Structure 1
Amino acid sequence: MSDETLPAFRDYLARDEGPALLEGALLIAEAFQPHVDRAACHAALDELARELAPGLPPGDAGDAAGTARALAAYLHDVAGFSGNAVDYYDARNSFIDQVLRRRTGIPISLALVYMEAGRRCGLPLHGVGFPGHFLVRLEAHPPVLVDPFAGAVLDEEGLQVLLRQALGAAARLEPGHLQPAAPREMLFRMLTNLKHIYLRQSDLPHALACSHRLLALAPGAVPEYRDRGLIQRELGLAAEALADLQHYLAHAPRDVHVETLERTVRELEGQLRRFN
């Protein structure tokens, strides 16, 4: 596949004001679909905010938990946004236009809906890259956490349950688990999810498009060079694969698979010598 939207994604990342999350999510959706109606997405979020606002407690009430409950109750119970547990690995769950249209998704894409609808109502919301499950954080003292997949406000016990599901029975909740995620971190996680989905489907061209964007977002993400190199090798892009795998081995010499990767590098070098 030709990757015509990659330059636009790179231009977006280079903006002085930093990446706006919704814009990045739309660019990701456009990379894998023939048409994304941006105006319809903005209109849908505006309409959600108009419907949400009357049910929120007054801003001076100091009721953060009540605000979070109202947010979740409207978006989950009334508007019908819920997690797609039946077909979790459908790529459409990661595309913001499809999530808005179908009203279902995975935790991080639903979190974006919560954040964008809430932001339009003046709510200070951030994403949280919680282990194994993306959450929404309403800034308050203390902050309140919402699970957009289930449409539920989480207390400490609920957070601990999620943590143990992800990390095992010995895991203990720490402040670092609840830190806000920057837009670049959210976009990186979205693209990582998509890459795994496409690899699961053996859709290597789309997986490669994800890898290109992951490295545009985070050029220092050394493991991504390995992954992109191996994808390119399978696609017959020997020169590109060789460059990525050499870069990876130079920066991650302790990889447990180093011997296998070095053998792959030698094979690619041999291929290129034969072609030249």
Structure 2
Amino acid sequence: MNDPWLGLQHAVDHEISLLSAALLVAKDEYPTLACSDYERRVDEYASRLSAELPLNATDTQRLSRLNAFLFEELGFAGDERNYFDPRNSYLNEVLDRRLGNPISLAIVQITLAQRLGLPLEGVSFPGHFLVRMPLDDGIVVLDPFHRGRTLDLPELRRRARSELSARDIDDQRLAHLLEPASHRAIVARMLRNLRLGYVENDAWDKALRCTDRLVTLDPFDIVEWRERGNLYLKLGHHRAAREDFKRYLALAPQAEDADRVMSQLIVCTTQAGRLH
């Protein structure tokens, strides 16, 4: 299959390499990017770590050493000054600058963990993306944006309450929020973060590019057909917007915003007709 994005669409989830997929996202912005150079760099980090660890190191010890290596020795950190800078979502820039956002830093952390045989997983938590690792007596949850700091239950509840505007988060709901995210969902969240930054800067063409990738990644994510239609409309591409709105309404005829999308569809059809 020549198109790597179609390859991702059809891939079994566990076969999706987060590192390779994140570099594929970056290649849209940097077409001449040599992805293999960055993959080799991460491999070198993993080799250095493996060489330092004793053979009988526990998973907890391996994770502690990984975090010290990544966040203290190499100096990777969250970009708190320019959080929505697109470079924080492009993994080549993250590896070069050693600055990123929660999800890009998590991808580096998870990739290194996998190389060490650690079952570190991504968590699509409300607000900041987190990582988790199963232990014999439960799970440990870490915040890659804040140098891999461990989060206890009270802090996780506070964060969830704040993001969800909820009075309380019971154990069952918190457990649901802490379920591991699929690799496809992680790549999708990275693209949505990137799109948000472009939308805030009125970079509609690049926001459209992100949404186009989201539609390809998961054609059954109905909302993205509507979002792409909205972006086509922003750019004056009425025929393309019309097709996406039609697809959205066909897939979700009972959607709460069906009337509004139908109105947009009528506008697009009228405008497209005038272009003949």
Same fold (TM over 0.5): yes
Indicate which of 59, 66, 75 corresponds to 1:80.
Answer: 75
- CA deviation digits over 1:96-153, x for unaligned, max 9? 1111111110111000110111211221211111111111122322222111111212
Amino acid paired to 2:85: D
- CA deviation digits over 1:243-272, x for unaligned, max 9? 111222333345554443322211211122
Summarize the alignment of residues 90-169 of structure 1 with structure 2, pairs less than 5 Å apart. 90-141=85-136, 142-151=138-147, 152-168=149-165, 169=167
Aligned pair 1:171/2:169, yes or no? yes
- Alignment partner of 1:36: what SS? coil
Amino acid paired to 2:78: G
Question: Hey, what does 1:181 align to over in structure 2?
Answer: 181
Question: Hey, what does 2:222 align to over in structure 1?
Answer: 222
State TM-score, norm by structure 2.
Answer: 0.88
Question: Hey, what does 1:50 align to over in structure 2?
Answer: 47
Amino acid paired to 1:123: L
CA contact (8 A) 1:37 1:97 kept: no
Q: Percent identity?
A: 35
Amino acid paired to 2:270: G
- Aligned equivalents of 2:66, 2:154: Cα separation in 1: 21
Amino acid paired to 1:226: R
CA contact (8 A) 2:19 2:108 kept: no
Question: Hey, what does 1:3 align to over in structure 2?
Answer: none
Aligned pair 1:7/2:3, yes or no? yes
Instruction: Please report how far the alpha carbon of residue 15 of structure 1 lies from its aligned counterpart in structure 2 after TM superposition.
Output: 4.4
The unaligned stretches of length 5 or more in structure 2 are none
- CA deviation digits over 1:126-185, x for unaligned, max 9? 111111111112232222211111121222223223223322342345211111111101
- Aligned equivalents of 2:221, 2:207: Cα separation in 1: 16
- Alignment partner of 1:124: what SS? coil
Question: Hey, what does 1:69 align to over in structure 2?
Answer: 64
- Aligned equivalents of 2:261, 2:113: Cα separation in 1: 47
- Aligned equivalents of 1:21, 1:48: Cα separation in 2: 16
- Alignment partner of 1:149: what SS? helix
Instruction: Please report how far the alpha carbon of residue 85 of structure 1 lies from its aligned counterpart in structure 2 after TM superposition.
Output: 0.8
Q: Residues 7 and 251 of structure 1: is their aligned pair in 2 closer, same or farther, counting only changes over 3 Å?
A: same
- Aligned equivalents of 1:90, 1:245: Cα separation in 2: 30
- Alignment partner of 1:139: what SS? strand
- Alignment partner of 2:117: what SS? coil
Matched length: 269
Instruction: Please report how far the alpha carbon of residue 202 of structure 1 lies from its aligned counterpart in structure 2 after TM superposition.
Output: 1.0
Q: Residues 125 and 81 of structure 1: is their aligned pair in 2 closer, same or farther, counting only changes over 3 Å?
A: same
The unaligned stretches of length 5 or more in structure 1 are 1-5
- Aligned equivalents of 1:75, 1:156: Cα separation in 2: 24
Deviates more, 1:33-42 or 1:188-197: 33-42
CA contact (8 A) 1:226 1:244 kept: yes
Instruction: Please report how far the alpha carbon of residue 37 of structure 1 lies from its aligned counterpart in structure 2 after TM superposition.
Output: 2.6
- Aligned equivalents of 1:177, 1:128: Cα separation in 2: 8
CA contact (8 A) 2:125 2:177 kept: yes
CA contact (8 A) 2:87 2:94 kept: yes
Aligned pair 1:204/2:204, yes or no? yes
Deviates more, 1:213-222 or 1:43-52: 43-52
- Alignment partner of 2:191: what SS? helix
- Alignment partner of 1:97: what SS? helix
- Aligned equivalents of 1:262, 1:63: Cα separation in 2: 54
- Aligned equivalents of 1:75, 1:40: Cα separation in 2: 19
